[in-house]
């Protein structure tokens, strides 16, 4: 449909708790228009995930598309673009690991966030079929990051030590060279 502007830190809509998407409306014209907007916007921005709240739609819908291959987070498995409606996260193991996160709604910054690394996600897909997905490592972090948006939270809310927040240019110059990909 169309590339939508991504709301940025400071916009009060990013802090709203999104409403559950009506199951009876999954698959209708408005639903598929929202998905097209999310896909077009994500592709244009070059991210790996986008929540409806980030484009001003206060509904519990998000998409995630992990290209896979070698990254600074290690060698990742590909996750093709997947739609998540009304997702819920269950923490299976509270042990945490940290990653330097970035966000389309907080452009130009990276921050070190620790999150649980073993979760179960339950959600409805784009056909309203219930699904479950068990995730570990960096993908578990990605999902928690994206679904936080649906609860009005941003990754910066999870930063424990503010000295671990950096502009992207300084991150690339001073921090990234010293990082090693985590061992799984």
User: Could you read off the pLDDT of 124-135 as tens digits, one per residue?
Assistant: 999 999 999 999
Q: CA nearest 135: which of 87, 71, 69? A: 87
Higher pLDDT, 74 or 38: 38
Domain edges within the chain: 12-178
Q: Is residue 167 over pLDDT 80? A: yes
Residue-level pLDDT at 68: 77
Residue-level pLDDT at 5: 98
Kindly tell me the sign of the dihedral angle through the C-alpha atoms of 165, 82, 125, 45: positive
Cα–Cα distances (Å) from 119 to 36, 70, 88, 95, 182, in that order, read 28, 23, 10, 10, 18
Topology of 12-178 in CATH? Peptide Deformylase (3.90.45)
Cα–Cα distances (Å) from 87 to 72, 134, 140, 151, 155, in that order, read 27, 13, 13, 11, 18
Burial of 122 (0-12, 13-18, 19+ CB in 10 A): middle
Residue-level pLDDT at 74: 62
Tell me: the pLDDT tens digits for 82-111?
A: 999 999 999 999 999 999 999 999 999 999
Residue-level pLDDT at 93: 98
Confidence of residue 183 (pLDDT cuts 50, 70, 90): very low
- Collapsed DSSP state (helix, strand, coil) of residue 128: coil
The residues annotated with a catalytic role in the active site are 146
Q: Is residue 71 over pLDDT 90? A: no
Q: Is residue 142 over pLDDT 80? A: yes
Tell me: the pLDDT tens digits for 144-157?
A: 999 999 999 999 99
Confidence of residue 75 (pLDDT cuts 50, 70, 90): confident
Q: Is residue 20 over pLDDT 80? A: yes
Confidence of residue 181 (pLDDT cuts 50, 70, 90): low
Tell me what the pLDDT averaged over the chain comes to. Answer: 94
């Amino acid at each position: 449909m169309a590339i939508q502007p991504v709301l940025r830190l400071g916009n009060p809509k990013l802090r709203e708790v999104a409403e559950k998407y009506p199951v009876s409306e999954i698959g209708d014209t408005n639903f598929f228009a929202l998905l097209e907007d999310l896909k077009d916007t994500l592709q244009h921005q070059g991210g790996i995930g986008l929540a409806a709240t980030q484009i001003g739609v206060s509904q519990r819908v998000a998409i995630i598309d992990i290209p896979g291959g070698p990254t600074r987070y290690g060698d990742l498995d590909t996750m093709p673009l997947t739609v998540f409606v009304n997702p819920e996260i269950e923490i299976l193991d509270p042990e945490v690991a940290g990653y330097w996160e970035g966000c389309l709604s907080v452009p130009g910054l990276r921050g070190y966030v620790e999150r649980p690394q073993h979760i179960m996600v339950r959600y409805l897909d784009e056909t309203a079929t219930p699904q479950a997905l068990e995730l570990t490592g960096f993908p578990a972090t990605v999902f928690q990051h994206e679904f936080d948006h649906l609860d009005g939270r941003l990754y910066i809310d999870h930063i424990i030590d503010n000295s671990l927040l950096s502009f992207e240019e300084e991150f690339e110059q001073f921090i990234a060279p010293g990082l090693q990909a985590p061992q799984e």
